Amino acid sequence: MKADTLDLKDIFRKDTRYVVPRFQRPYVWKEEEHWQPLWEDLQLVVNELMDRQAGADTDLERQEAQQDTSPHFLGAIVLDQQSTPTQKLETREIIDGQQRLITLQVLLSATHSVAKDFDDDGSASLVEKLMYNDKDLTRTETDRLKVWPIEADQDAFIDVMTLSDPESEHAELDGDDNLEECFRYFRDEIQEWAESGEESPEDHLDALVTTMWHLLRVVVIDLESNDDAQVIFETLNARGTPLLAADLIKNYLFREASVQHNDPGELHDKYWKQFDEDEWRVDVSQGRLDRPKIDVFIMHWLTMEMSQQVRAKKLFPAFRKYLDRTDHSVEEIVKDIDYYASIYETISEPDRGSREGIFFHRLDILDTTTPYPVLLWIFGHENIPKEQRVKAVEAIESWLMRRMLSRLTSKNYNKIFIELLDELKERDDEPVGDVVVEFFRSKEGESDYWPGDEKLTDSMVSMEYWAVINQRRLKMVFAAVERELRNTGYSETVEFTQNLEIEHILPQKWSTHWSLPGERPAEVERMERDEAKDRIGNLTILTDKLNPSISNAAWDDKREAIQEHTVLRLNKHLITNWPDEWNEKTIAERGEWLAAQASEVWPEPDSGYWDE
């Protein structure tokens, strides 16, 4: 067999038909696991290309910028050549990689459709060259398509691939097939992205098409006549333990150590040996996926060092680029990694007895790791006074929590924390906590502003939280409020140690014991009650035994049971302040009260608390 690293131009530009064997499974890729990560990875490459070409005035400079842009590796495909008649299309059977090739064709079709919408004929024409074979070499209309799926996917694939074909009468998608969903996803994402930023849609599409032609790479394994396709398929997919990115980094580092006349064995035993232990190779949560702890740590460390987003899937190429450009020796690098590993351990396994530990515990519940490079930088500088470090993490926590409670987007958090990292590095002679507060105070965009009390209160009174914010986060909010209520100097500060559950005070199935007021049309009152029941003012926390025993009970019975068993101050406040009735009005009142408590826990940007 023969293996080559090819870009999409090499694969799709020539007149070849890639056929999926009929016995293979249908198209199964989905948005969250496959399309979204692919589009995010593609955007990183396109954005890097556009940044590098921003100052390019000549074709030569643009070509050099393209060559300096890091390509994205899409994995491997295995092809088996089929016999073809003279002067007909060359045919390859896809032994492995059909999901990838089909998705790339749908992505190209979506790009073609958007280019047509913007009347960008140049980009559309270039994309067509990767989508269709030469008509003179085809016997049927469908032979024009570069990839041909199994029968179950053929109708939907034809629809998707010919939607914007100028020679096709097909003009719309009206089904819910997986391939059509894939097309819609990429088309909508490309459309939104092309209209964003200062550059024109045409500039965006030009960079996207250039990236797809030259900067998406695939390892293509061509089988020869004596190769057993099934054995090769099994070997690629089911045998062996894959190397971690950290393993590749380790090998590259210590090879460079030899070049620099260092003793690799000595450096390994002194600084790297701990990373060979199993505890560093266990999977930890990283976004939508689980990844080895060592890879996640190095990703955050490298992001901190480079002040640019490093994706886990591109960790090794990013590290190699960093090593090629840095002035630090290998010994300095492995020493630094060893030092920050201890900082990372503190962050990922915090002691909850300190304010910083409480912050890290809450950050874990928020399930966001985007602040980690900033936190590594802050906690790695031993000369930062404790009070400034605490102010920094409290400001980060307030910004994150207020945005979560206001149900604002977290889409650009990676970029925002890299901005903050640059700000901290630039102003490293100023108090770190003050810099963090000032940074978040300065943000005014929808994706980055720090909500004040008015926004927080409006959200907590009017927005539905149940099933929108997960229970673990809701329990954390109530635990934080409870902690604040006990922080009087006279009461013990307690942490929840037993299983507690979120309870609807007005039940989700309220109609059994909770009658409507009957003052207005029943349909209006029913709608208002259904909207109110999932707001945070109607939620509290109870033990896992008490909760189901009173779940659908009337307010009088529920209040008495809570009064008898609860030790939580937030529940005592509930039954003391609303003893007689519970309805939409009292839900709103309690929402306001909870917002006031949340504001004490997470002060607003204009609060004098930050100026102390």
Helix, strand, coil % over all residues of the chain, rounded to 5:
60, 10, 30
Decide which of 431, 451, 471 is a domain's last residue: 451
Look at residue 225 in the predicted model and tell me its pLDDT.
60
pLDDT digits 0-9 by tens, 223-248: 766 655 555 555 555 544 566 788 88
Q: Which two tokens stand for residue 56?
A: 């390019």
Is residue 89 within 8 A of residue 145, CB to CB? The reply is no
For 17-66, the pLDDT digits (tens) are: 999 887 677 888 999 889 999 999 999 999 889 888 887 778 888 888 88
163 exposed, middle or buried (CB, 10 Å; 0-12, 13-18, 19+)? buried
Per-residue pLDDT tens over the stretch 141-176? 788 899 999 888 898 999 899 887 656 555 567 667
Instruction: Report d(CA 399, CA 396) in Å as an integer.
Output: 5
Q: Identify whether the C-beta of residue 5 lies closer than 8 Å to the C-beta of residue 219.
A: yes
**How does DSSP classify residue 308?**
S
Instruction: Please indicate, yes or no, whether residues 400 and 491 belong to a single structural domain of this protein.
Output: no
Domain of 144 in residue numbering reads as 2-238
**Position 602, amino acid:** W
pLDDT number for residue 51 = 87
335-347 pLDDT, tens digit per residue, is 999 999 999 998 8
Residues 226 and 255 in one domain: no
- Is residue 536 situated within a structural domain? yes
Rg (alpha carbons) of the chain, rounded to whole number: 29
Euclidean distance between the first and final Cα of the chain, in Å? 70
| The predicted structure's pLDDT at residue 564 | 87
Joined tokens for residue 62? 């643009």
The alpha helices in 13-145, defined as continuous H runs, are 36-53, 59-68, 98-117, 121-131
Cα(94)–Cα(222) distance, integer angstroms: 10
Q: Output the DSSP codes for 172-206.
A: ------HHHHHHHHHHHHHHHHHTSSSS-HHHHHH
In which residue are the tokens 């040996």 written?
Answer: 273
Assess whether 225 and 285 both reside in one domain: no
Domain end position, chosen among 188, 211, 238: 238
d(CA 161, CA 132): 9
- My answer on whether 150 and 282 are in the same domain is no
Domain tally for the chain? 3
Classified as helix, coil or strand, 171 is coil
C-alpha–C-alpha distance, residues 461 and 558, integer Å: 22
Q: What is the number of helices (H) and of strands (E) in the chain?
A: 26, 10
CA distances in angstroms from 604 to 29, 268, 492, 599, 612, listed in the order given: 43, 47, 26, 7, 14
85 found inside a domain: yes
In a domain, 162, yes or no: yes
Which one has a higher pLDDT value, 286 or 318? 318
Residue whose pair of structure tokens reads 């067999």 in the numeric block: 1
Distance, CA of 387 to CA of 383 (rounded, Å): 12
- The reply to whether 196 and 291 lie within a common domain is no
CB atoms within 10 A of CB 524: 11
| Mean pLDDT of all residues in 582-608 | 95
Structural contact between residues 350 and 361, judged by C-beta atoms closer than 8 angstroms: yes
Confidence tier at 441 by pLDDT (50, 70, 90) = very high
Q: Are residues 279 and 409 in the same domain?
A: yes
Please say which residue of 451, 474, 492 terminates a domain: 451
Q: Cβ distance 183 to 38 under 8 Å?
A: no
> Which residues have CB under 8 Å from 344's CB, separation 6+?
297, 300, 301, 372, 376
pLDDT band at 524 (very low <50, low <70, confident <90, very high): confident
610, part of any domain = no
| 408 and 464 within one domain | no
pLDDT for res 86: 46
Q: Are residues 133 and 168 in the same domain?
A: yes
Closest C-alpha among 568, 403, 574, 578 to residue 483: 568
> pLDDT per residue over 188-226, tens digit each?
999 999 998 788 999 999 999 999 999 999 988 887 666
Spatial distance between the Cα atoms of 558 and 550, rounded to a whole number of angstroms:
6
Whether residues 178 and 308 share a domain: the answer is no
Q: What is d(CA 545, CA 571) in angstroms, rounded to the nearest whole number?
A: 16
pLDDT band at 101 (very low <50, low <70, confident <90, very high): very high
Domain shared by 204 and 249, yes or no:
no
Residue 513 confidence class, pLDDT cut points 50, 70, 90 = confident
Virtual CA dihedral for 469, 473, 475, 477, nearest 10 degrees? -100
- Indicate if 424 and 496 belong to the same structural domain: no
C-alpha closest to that of 99 among 22, 20, 32: 20
- What per-residue confidence (pLDDT) applies to 234? 54
Instruction: Name every residue whose Cβ is closer than 8 Å to that of residue 132 and which is 6 or more positions away in sequence.
Output: 144, 145, 146, 165
Residue with tokens 């590993």, as numbered in its chain: 341
pLDDT on residue 327: 92
One-letter amino acid identity for 344? Y
Per-residue model confidence (pLDDT) at position 598: 97
| CA distance readout (Å), 443 to 230, 419, 420, 437, 605 | 56, 11, 11, 10, 10
| Tokens, residue 376 | 């590594």
Which three-class secondary structure state does DSSP give residue 488?
coil
Considering only 66-70, 354-358, 455-459, 487-491, which range has the smallest mean pLDDT? Answer: 487-491
Q: Length of the chain in residues, anyone? A: 612
> Is-contact 538 503, C-beta < 8 A?
no
Residue with more model confidence, 499 or 194: 194
Tell whether the model's pLDDT for residue 492 goes beyond 70: no
Specify if 606 maps to a domain.
no
Judge whether 256 lies within some domain.
yes
**Would the pLDDT of 87 be above 60?**
no
Q: Which amino acid is at 406?
A: S
Residues 412 and 488 in one domain: no
The DSSP result for 22-48, as a single string, is TTS------IIIIIHHHHHHHHHHHHH
Residues 95 and 229 sit within 8 Å (Cβ to Cβ): yes
Amino acid at the residue 282: V
Residues contacting residue 68 through CB under 8 Å, at least 6 positions apart: 52
Could you tell me the pLDDT band of residue 501, with boundaries at 50, 70 and 90? confident
Q: Cα dihedral sign for 363, 369, 370, 376? A: positive
Instruction: Tell me how far apart the alpha carbons of residues 47 and 245 are, in angstroms, rounded to a whole number.
Output: 24
What's the pTM value of the predicted model, to 2 decimals?
Answer: 0.67
**Residue 295 pLDDT:** 93
Among 18-27, 179-188, 299-308, name the one with the lowest average pLDDT: 18-27
**100 within domain boundaries:** yes
In a domain, 611, yes or no: no
